[in-house]
């Protein structure tokens, strides 16, 4: 059932965002009098096909990982004399550019709509509270204290913990100082964090904890909720409901501590003290292992805890009137667009590793999580991915919308159309670039999957 729900969330995400993007190309092409031969969502064998009165063929492909709009073009087919006026290649430069720009622009419009609805419905977000401060960490050296409210990062207001994380991510790879303003009671304090020795895990970056800020989290008792079949815990007879009291005679205060100790001892024979039905017992167990990040062994027992709901005092609701929601939606869309620009720039400069890239598996997992959290969260997720899709398509890579726009700019400069040979070669180069990026992103996904 879980895999069906995950697949459904992923398909809905891809269908909605690709449909929106291709609809932009389609609508503007129609408005400018260009004939649309095919509007396709997905690739491969058609599972749905319909031909409209205008002659346009509407298709849903078997592989839902993209889409395209095929326009009448003399460079691809022989165009009858009576339809030359409707051929894409016969359109003036400005018209072709508008048709190409319409796809990404529609993605940005959709993001505004999604965020607008999200803020009108209301969304629960984590309050930007510091939680614990790791001793001798960058945050501790800057004077941050536990359980303070973070009000600003680098001068930007942070209404949620997510906003704090985003502002910190924007500084990845830098060695200067980061400004964080906190509020305790009614006193505001400005802190300057020295980033000179800042180190972040490239594959699974955790900006807050890398600075020594551990966000507040609900208390989870060290009580087993489920036991994995054939796992180390099941092999020695541990059961759901068992409360772990000690690990190698070290008292256990909560599930987080137990998890840390398990992960730190792969392959080791340890002693567990636990309580079952009021009786205390001790047993030896060999900690199993799985391959984590960089294929490093990570200990595991094959047990899970029951995750409690996040306490209401750690949450705040962002819900506004239609007018205010629309204004915030515009601001959010612009901020996330700039965020993508910053991240790409840092990747090009080598300040952020390509290991941070996520691929289809990451989208699959995140879509499922967002889908299960309700309408508001899923709308926000769709808005974020839509901005990312629009931005990526604007990159000057041959084959993408940005690559076409780059060609039009060259055409404007040299005052003549580019040769067919150049376009064929550039598309092949673009395909190789995109394939390389996809392979890297998917490989990163698989590493994260193994680590989980």
Could you tell me the two tokens for 258? 């137990």
184 occurs within a structural domain: no
Nearest of 16, 113, 115, 28 to residue 64 by alpha carbon = 16
268 occurs within a structural domain: yes
35 occurs within a structural domain: no
Question: Using CA atoms, how far apart are residues 88 and 93, in angstroms rounded to an integer?
Answer: 10
- In this prediction, residue 452 carries a pLDDT of 47
Ranges under pLDDT 50 in the chain: 1, 451-452
256 occurs within a structural domain: yes
Q: Is-catalytic flag, 22?
A: yes
Domain with residue 255: its CATH number is 2.30.42.10
Work out the mean pLDDT of the chain and round it to a whole number: 84
178 occurs within a structural domain: no
- In this prediction, residue 151 carries a pLDDT of 93
- Counted domains in the chain: 1
- In this prediction, residue 428 carries a pLDDT of 82
Is the Cβ–Cβ distance between 170 and 342 less than 8 Å?
yes
- In this prediction, residue 357 carries a pLDDT of 62
402 occurs within a structural domain: no
Question: Using CA atoms, how far apart are residues 394 and 340, in angstroms rounded to an integer?
Answer: 11
237: containing domain: 226-304
> Of 22, 148, 170, 332, which one is the catalytic site residue?
22
- In this prediction, residue 20 carries a pLDDT of 92
Backbone conformation region of residue 33, classed left if phi is above 0, alpha if psi is from -120 to 50, else beta: left
pLDDT digits (tens, 9 = 90+) for 248-296: 999 999 998 898 899 888 888 999 999 998 899 999 999 887 765 556 7
390 occurs within a structural domain: no
252 occurs within a structural domain: yes
């Amino acid at each position: 059932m879980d895999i069906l729900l995950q697949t459904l969330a992923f398909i809905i995400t891809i269908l909605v965002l690709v449909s929106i993007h291709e609809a932009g190309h389609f609508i503007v092409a129609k408005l400018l009098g260009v004939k649309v031969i095919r509007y396709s969502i997905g690739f491969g064998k058609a599972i749905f096909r319909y031909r409209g009165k205008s002659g346009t063929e509407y298709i849903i492909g078997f592989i839902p990982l993209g889409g395209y709009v095929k326009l009448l073009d003399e460079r691809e087919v022989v165009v009858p004399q009576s339809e030359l006026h409707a051929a894409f290649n016969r359109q003036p430069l400005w018209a072709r550019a508008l048709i190409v720009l319409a796809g990404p622009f529609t993605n940005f419009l959709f993001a505004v709509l999604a965020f607008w609805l999200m803020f009108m419905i209301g969304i629960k977000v984590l309050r930007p509270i510091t939680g614990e401060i790791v001793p001798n960490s960058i945050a501790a050296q800057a004077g941050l204290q536990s359980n303070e409210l973070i009000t600003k990062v680098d001068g930007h207001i942070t209404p949620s913990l997510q906003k704090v994380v985003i502002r910190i991510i924007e500084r990845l790879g830098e060695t200067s100082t980061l400004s964080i303003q906190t509020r305790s009671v009614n006193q505001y304090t400005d802190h300057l964090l020295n980033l000179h020795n800042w180190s972040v895990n490239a594959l699974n970056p955790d900006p807050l904890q890398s600075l020594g800020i551990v966000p507040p989290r609900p208390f989870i008792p060290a009580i087993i909720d489920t036991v994995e079949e054939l796992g180390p815990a099941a092999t020695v007879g541990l059961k759901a409901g068992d409360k772990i009291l000690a690990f190698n005679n070290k008292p256990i205060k909560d599930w987080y501590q137990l998890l840390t100790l398990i992960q730190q001892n792969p392959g080791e024979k340890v002693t567990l003290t636990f309580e079952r039905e009021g009786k205390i017992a001790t047993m030896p167990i060999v900690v199993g292992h799985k391959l984590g990040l960089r294929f490093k062994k990570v200990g595991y027992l094959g047990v899970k805890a029951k995750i409690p709901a996040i306490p209401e005092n750690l949450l705040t609701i962002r819900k506004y009137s239609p007018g205010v929601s629309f204004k915030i939606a515009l601001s959010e869309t612009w901020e996330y667009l700039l965020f993508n620009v910053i991240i790409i720039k840092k990747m090009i400069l080598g300040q952020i590793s390509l290991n941070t890239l996520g691929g289809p598996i990451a989208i699959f997992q995140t879509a499922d999580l967002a889908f299960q959290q309700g309408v508001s969260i899923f709308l926000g997720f769709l808005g974020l991915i839509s901005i990312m899709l629009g931005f990526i398509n604007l990159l000057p890579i041959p084959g993408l919308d940005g690559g076409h726009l780059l060609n039009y700019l060259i055409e404007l400069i040299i005052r003549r159309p580019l040769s067919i040979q150049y376009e064929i070669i550039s598309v092949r180069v673009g395909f190789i670039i995109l394939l390389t990026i996809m392979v890297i992103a998917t490989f990163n996904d698989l590493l994260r999957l193994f680590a989980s």
